[in-house]
Structure 1
């Protein structure tokens, strides 16, 4: 995935061949923050401007800006996978939360 990061937010970048522009959209949020430009340098500037405008708008309205992730994950997995993960965590001397955090991090970086 082509992406850009700014102030803890990540945007997915795509090239729109029809319009001959780069298009970006901030990921992991219900609010839609998108931007576009003709060059990568301009796209980065537009990303910063769009996100700064979003944060300023939130401050002006007195609301907390949405964050891409809260750090809380609710999962439903098969009981046998849950049991195997618990055993793997215990074998590693970790809590299931610590073990899962490391597994998620490795998977996200792959």
Structure 2
């Protein structure tokens, strides 16, 4: 079961807040926080759209960039055995390690 909703092109992770008995959505990739609550999927979609709209309007009014900026670079630390296994898997597909990791991450992200 996926716990990510796409609301107007923005991804939101969904969880259950057992203290209040509601589902909670939190948008991903925003430069600030925007969350929303509802008791069901229909409500989550409605509240999510409203929350996102308010967030984007607030950013526009303040002249702020609403989305996080990503450089496309990150450091990855692996156990040496896993590093070797990944390098071998990349070589077996005639890819650089970077290319193989990027393809693997892309496939996992697309499945989410």
- TM-score where L is the length of structure 1: 0.72
Residue deviations 1:71-104 (CA, integer Å, cap 9, x gap): 4332112334333322321221112222112222
1:21 & 1:34 partners in 2: Cα distance? Answer: 12
Aligned residue-pair number: 110
Question: Structure 1 residues 73, 8: CA separation in 2 closer, same or farther (over 3 Å shift)?
Answer: farther
Alignment correspondent of 1:55: 56
3-state SS in 2 of match to 1:12: strand
Cα RMSD after superposing both structures:
2.9
Aligned pairs (5 A) from 1:1-110: 1-27=2-28, 31-67=32-68, 71-108=72-109, 109=111
1:35 positional shift: 0.6
Q: Which runs of 5+ in 2 are unaligned?
A: none
Measured against aligned partners, the alpha-carbon deviations of 1:16-42 in whole angstroms (never above 9, x if no partner) come to 455343221223556221111233212
Distance 1:81 1:25 in 2: 33
CA contact (8 A) 1:27 1:68 kept: no
1:13–1:24: 8 Å Cα contact kept in structure 2? yes
* 1:90 and 1:96 in contact (8 A); partners too: yes
* Distance (whole Å) between structure 1 residues aligned to residue 71 and residue 7 of structure 2: 17
